[in-house]
Structure formats: structure tokens, C-alpha cells
Amino acid sequence: MLFEDIYENYFKDVCRLSFSLTKDEVSAEDLAQETFVKALASIDSFDGSKDIRAWLFTIAKNTFYSECRKKKWIADGEIPEEIASSEPDFLEVISDKESAVLIHKYLHSMKEPYKEVFHLRVFGELDFEEIGNIFGKSASWARVTFYRAKNEIKNYMTEIGET
């Protein structure tokens, strides 16, 4: 597949993910462009074991987090409220900034595929069918994996007394 085809086929998806991270159209566009620049530079390292969209999403997330660290949003343990996105049933849990930071920190320690499925669902705003396709699995697999990840986060928040 030519890189032009990859760009054409996946740019909108990367833009959606980027917007869910940045909450700003201009920043999302910049992040998406930077993602494809980095993908082009490292296309030889893509081994094809994962879906190309998952690989692009990983590049986008890492680029975003690098930018956050440069701006000292994450390095100091503070994640801006616009980054702390959530599903409606998590609104009460992450209603304050401190809980949101705890969830983001815990999310980084979660095992795959739970971390990635949760991130794609909540931050990437993908449906279960799309997530299943990325992993080469069914929509039901994605739904169950997301449910388990969500419960793991809820249990963690209960254990530390945040719910």
C-alpha cells in the first residue's frame, strides 16, 4: 500500500482521535499532520503485525503526550481538564481534576489490550465494531474488553477511596 493511500484512508480517523485529545480543531489538525510526518519517517519499522490504524493512533497518542510533557502539563502531574475526557458513567468519578489525574496515571499502568481498547473507545470515540476491526476481533470482544477495563478502573478508584 502506498503511503498516499494510507494518508487518504486514515487521515480522518487520526483527526478524530487528535481532536478527542486536544479538544481544538487547529491543534488536532497539527497533531494529525505531525502523526503522518512521523509515520512516513518510520514506515519501514511498521511490521504489519497490527492494523495500520492502531499504529497511527499510537504515534498520535505518543506525539500528543510528548507535546504535553514539553508544555509541562503531564510532567508536573497536572493534566488540563480538556484532556480528561470520559464516558457519561464516569462523570461522577472524574468530576474533579484530582480524580482525572489518578485515572490517567492508572490507565498508563493497565495491561494491553485493556488500555488500548479503553483509550480508543473513550478518547478516540470509536465504536466497538471499529475497535474490533483494529485488533482483528469481533465487536463483542471489543465490548467485553472495554467493560473489563472500565471495571478495573472503577475497582481501582474504589480501592483508593475516590468513589
- Give the DSSP per-residue string, the chain: --HHHHHHHHHHHHHHHHHHHH--HHHHHHHHHHHHHHHHHTGGG--SSS-HHHHHHHHHHHHHHHHHHHTTSTTTT---TTT----GGGTTTTSSHHHHHHHHHHHHHSPTTHHHHHHHHHTS---HHHHHHHHTS-HHHHHHHHHHHHHHHHHHHHHTT--
Q: Which domains does the chain have, with CATH numbers?
A: 1-78 (1.10.1740.10), 84-163 (1.10.10.10)
Question: Whole-angstrom Cα distance, residue 22 to residue 53?
Answer: 19
Task: Kindly report whether the global pTM for this prediction surpasses the value 0.75.
Answer: no
Evaluated on CA atoms 158, 159, 160, 161, the torsion sign reads positive
pLDDT higher at 88 or 17:
17
pLDDT of residue 3: 75
Q: What is the pLDDT of residues 106-137, one digit of tens each?
A: 888 888 889 888 888 877 778 888 888 888 98
Taking all residues of the chain, what is their mean pLDDT, rounded to a whole number? 77
Predicted confidence (pLDDT) per residue in 61-98, tens digit: 888 887 777 765 544 444 444 444 434 344 444 445 56
